[in-house]
Amino acid sequence: MKKHIHSTSVEPDPWHSLKAYTDARIALGHTGTAIPLKEVLQFKLAFAHAKDAVYSHLEMDKLQQELSRFPLPHYLLHSRAMSRSVYLQRPDWGRQLDEASAQQIQNSTETAADIAIILADGLSATAINQHAFPVLQRLIPALQKANYRIAPLSIVEQARVAIGDEIGHLLKAKMSVVLIGERPGLTSPYSMGAYLTYAPEPGTTDERRNCISNIRPEGLPYEMAVQKIRYLIQESLRLQLSGVELKDNTEETPFLY
């Protein structure tokens, strides 16, 4: 009996010490030729969290209440994908505003701005629910202090990154900053990304964007993320470009404001 228990116990992996440096599933050990049951169950739980993130919803009341703390109006917008199932099957519709949303912006009397900030659910609305406001709480006052003109804020449902091109263009903004829920990972289902595009317009391609990824307390902390966003905004507007030609040199270059 004792021999049987010993044969089914978990054998540690020789690389176990490396787990201290990453949340990735490495050095899981083994039970005979199989992965330990505990690790199998944790994998299934992580997969369930990732799936839940994809089907999560923006907490509109909470987000509106948070955005009302800034001295800026905001729009509630929707992409052409009217449901989550359609959104997942038609990525192109997630990149376009529906007619009512586009008309809402076109009917506004807003003047040209430097920056249009857009919150989009992407593939993890929970990421926006948790991380958008802490980032904006730091970012917007800093941009206003630097005298940048900020367009009305936008919250967009069933949206992908490129929807910021149409919104930024309609708002006559020099650049767009899209905060969006990233594709969930098995160790990070609630990460937020920030995409910056100079001169946004429909048809803009991805090489013209800069991306700051994995924004969350366990990944890229808010303060550091805001520092990078501020730097890229500053340099994008100064150089009048974004994307592969704009580098993140925040570690070498101090802010100009």
> Does 182 belong to an annotated binding site?
yes
- Give me the residues paired with residue 31 across strands: 34
> Does 161 belong to an annotated binding site?
yes
Q: How many whole angstroms separate alpha carbon 165 and alpha carbon 195?
A: 11
Please answer whether residues 48 and 41 qualify as being in contact, where contact means their C-beta atoms are separated by less than 8 angstroms: no
DSSP 204: -
- Taking CA atoms, 73 is separated from 63, 67, 82, 194, 256, in Å, by 13, 8, 24, 21, 28
Tokens coding 30: 């083994």
Q: How many whole angstroms separate alpha carbon 132 and alpha carbon 118?
A: 10
Tokens coding 79: 């992409």
- Could you tell me if residue 29 is left (phi over 0), alpha (psi between -120 and 50 degrees) or otherwise beta? left
Q: How many whole angstroms separate alpha carbon 119 and alpha carbon 242?
A: 19
Three-class HEC string of 216-252: CCCCECHHHHHHHHHHHHHHHHHHCCCCCCCCCCCCC
Which residues make up each annotated binding site for adenosylcob(III)alamin? 161, 182, 211
Which residues make up each annotated binding site? 161, 182, 211
